[in-house]
Amino acid sequence: MNSQPDIQTSADCHTKKGIVPTDCDLLPITNGNLLVSREHAVFCRIPAEEVDAVRAVLSGHASCDILSQALFENLYRHGFGEPPRPAKPDPPTVQMQLTNDCNLDCSYCCTNSGHRRAQEITLDQALHIVRQIPKVLGHETHVALLGGEPLLVTWCSDLVSHIIDLGLSVMLFTNGIPLADDAIAKEVAGLAQRGLKIRVSLAGPTAASCDSASGGERFENALLGIQKLAEYGGGVSVDLMLTPQNAETVASELSRIRERLPANTPIALGVLYMSGRETGEHLFKDRPSLESALDRVAFGAGVTVPAQTSSPVTYRRDGCSCALGKHVHVRSDGALFNCFKMEEKVGHLDGDGFEATARLMKANPHRATSLPVCADCPLATICGGGCRSENMLYTGNPDEPPCGPWRVRIMSELLAENRVASLEWPVAFLMQEAVARGIDVPKNLKPKKTSRHLIDV
């Protein structure tokens, strides 16, 4: 998030004239209103005692001079009186699923991996794709390689080497087991020294918890692979899954995992989402439950978990990166998607191909302001219309977010508290937060579609 401007020096340099854009709306919140400018993508809580003055300004019956100095300073701190907020500078990304084959059978697998598809992409096809990336999406594009288990593909290292030669950043997602093989560890370590980033995932903090969720002997083999890679000069980041079921174990065992990893190995806690074989069993029911788990981990492991960021300003969101044509996912059978969750299919390598599909997505963004549900919503450029994959699961239509007065109200309440991170929350978290605050929510709001990973294999 952008840093907060210095109120004392910045606000004093501005006059009250024009501090409130002409397109502003007032949305109801507890003990006041939320002032929102869709054009500028800014927001600010207006206390109840100041609402009438703001209404008078918006209606043209009074000038901004009637606003109190305290409110003026708060408006300026929230980006009012400044140019419209910029969009988040997300670089383009291309994810390539090299195979659906996997040496594990994880109960929560978001891609429903396990067996190789009848037809999967070849090295020639993969090379053709990566050579098109710089001219279609730009040299700043991030490339991610995943599976299944990508290191089961014999030409994986050749592809990585070529991506590095093109000057593109590349990251490999693996369960780490293949790295226990000396030859593979040595080869991958050499690529790491040339710039390859490697992320190794663990389904749990102990052999028992990790292996039971993975359907195989994962924990010890993954740790062995990480050690072998380090011996050859390569490093990794570890993604440790955090679920309601294993939070206590993560808290008690995190320090022991650190002791078994090479020094300074980063560990990130991963949270699952509804996709593939994950149907909700391993998801946190609401944001407070997740934050409580993070607190337990921090206390038990003696580490600091960064607090949820609050900010008076946020980036402009015309849509998620998938909606704006910034992301292309290549499934192992050549199907093309606009999101790593692979719910909304947009093309195929055997059809229009990678380049034409990527260009078409860039030229035809799905901006929130153009969506029927969001067209007149004051929060459209702040909310962005939600996650398209989540929209598809809940409504069957990526252009139709599961929204209504309840969502506008809870988003307004959270923004009034400067909780801009809530803009990234899943629908389930927003619903539970609304319920906790006494806001009526739809009784039947739940996923209506089966994840594509379970029906399109």
Domain ranges of the chain: 7-77, 93-301
Q: Say how far apart CA 352 and CA 59 lie, in whole Å.
A: 52
Say if CB 255 and CB 301 are below 8 A apart: yes
CB neighbour burial string for 21-44, b if at least 16 within 10 angstroms, e if fewer: beebebbebeebbbbbbbebbbbb
Q: In what order do the strands lie in the sheet with 42-47?
A: 25-29, 32-37, 42-47
Query: How far is residue 269's CA from residue 251's CA, in Å, rounded to a whole number?
Result: 11
Encoded amino acid at 112, one letter: N
Q: Please tell me the predicted confidence (pLDDT) of residue 307.
A: 59
**222: which residues sit within 8 A by CB, 6+ positions away?**
175, 176, 177, 179, 180, 200, 202, 210
Global confidence as pTM: 0.89
Q: Are 166 and 118 in contact (CB under 8 A)?
A: no
Rg (CA), the chain: 24
Output the six-digit token pair for 4. Answer: 């907060």
Classified as helix, coil or strand, 351 is coil
Fold of 93-301: TIM Barrel (3.20.20)
Give CA–CA dist 261/211, Å, rounded: 18
Instruction: Supply the pLDDT for residue 453.
Output: 56
pLDDT of residue 158: 98
Chunk the chain into consecutive blocks of 10 residues (it has 457) and report each block's average pLDDT, rounded to whole numbers: 39 70 96 98 98 96 94 97 93 97 93 92 98 96 97 98 98 98 98 98 96 96 98 97 94 93 94 84 91 87 68 95 93 93 89 96 95 96 94 91 96 97 93 96 80 55
Q: How many Cβ atoms from other residues are within 10 Å of residue 77's Cβ?
A: 18
